[in-house]
Structure 1
């Protein structure tokens, strides 16, 4: 009876250690997603700052339009954090695209704005943040893929369900974004 008890105890310990290792691996994958979302929040914050600088620049050309847009952005902006959803990010991207579209209209009405060196430098900064956002999206989606793949595989799927891990949504880039190159 003693060898049977030892065998059962060893099997139980092995199963518990296996579950712990799965939980630890899922936590790492989940943390990678949270970190990627935080990075997206940092990039979005930088884009909003560059956008606000661009709007300040357009005040001299279309004061009422710029002030209205600045107030709209301030009231609709949210901070993206680890627990934010892809829908939150896409909503913020929509606000930025809308503002950039309005700035493009102002630029067309005032050709001297297009030649302004500060405008050109600020647009370059906005473009740089846009490129960093794309990279952040790739990192986020790659992290989501790794977690979702792990959660979907048997027998991890059973443990993941018991521990409360769920599949995450991907970030999908908006098709109606303003083309940054046309704004320069």
Structure 2
């Protein structure tokens, strides 16, 4: 279980790094596309929900509904980022802004590292889940309240980002 918790904290760190980039990213894009208030508002709301989901570290691992809500909040944030990047495509001059380019590179790096961390987390979960199902561990796990942990699945928006479609 400790291995799963350690991997989960690394996943949470990637989510937090992504959250930290969003305000700066939105501000830069606003300077070039101020008429996209709805997109900026959606990004801010998604960031707030995703941030709230991160404020309960580790609890999502023991509560299936909370884990589902966590994943939904992160997927909504990924979708908001995708829509923000669609705005960028309509502003070619933004693609030459060095601050935007630096943030975009950081975001791509975070998304790549997140893919690796998610895979590591899922592998730790699979090992843990397999372990607690084996005899005699299953008896001890049942008596001690150890339950299966959920795997982290990428949402549709996140899958598109991981396929390189964030710019």
Offset of residue 89 of structure 1: 4.1
The equivalent residue for 2:136 is 155
The equivalent residue for 2:64 is none
The equivalent residue for 1:9 is none
Q: Secondary structure at the match of 1:154?
A: coil
Q: Secondary structure at the match of 1:71?
A: helix
Offset of residue 46 of structure 1: 0.4
- 1:131-150 correspondence runs (5 A): 131-150=112-131
CA distance in 2, matches of 1:130, 1:182: 11
TM-score by structure 1 length?
0.74
Name which of 93, 106, 110 aligns with 1:112: 93
Aligned length: 155
User: Are positions 1:76 and 2:76 aligned together?
Assistant: no
Query: Does structure 1 retain, via aligned residues, the 8 Å contact 2:33–2:87?
Result: yes
Deviations 1:110-156 (A, max 9, x none): 11112222211111000111111112112211111111111111121
Q: Specify whether residues 104 and 71 from structure 1 end up closer, same or farther in structure 2 by C-alpha distance, changes over 3 A only.
A: closer
CA distance in 1, matches of 2:129, 2:101: 42
Q: Secondary structure at the match of 1:87?
A: helix
Q: Specify whether residues 168 and 116 from structure 1 end up closer, same or farther in structure 2 by C-alpha distance, changes over 3 A only.
A: same
Structure ID, larger Rg:
1
Query: Does structure 1 retain, via aligned residues, the 8 Å contact 2:43–2:77?
Result: no
Q: Secondary structure at the match of 1:170?
A: coil
CA distance in 2, matches of 1:142, 1:106: 36
Query: Does structure 1 retain, via aligned residues, the 8 Å contact 2:129–2:148?
Result: yes
User: Are positions 1:127 and 2:108 aligned together?
Assistant: yes
CA distance in 2, matches of 1:37, 1:98: 22
Structure 1 runs not aligned, ≥5 long: 1-29
Structure 2 runs not aligned, ≥5 long: 62-66
Deviations 1:63-120 (A, max 9, x none): 3246423531343222161222442442233132222222122112211112222211
Q: Secondary structure at the match of 2:125?
A: helix
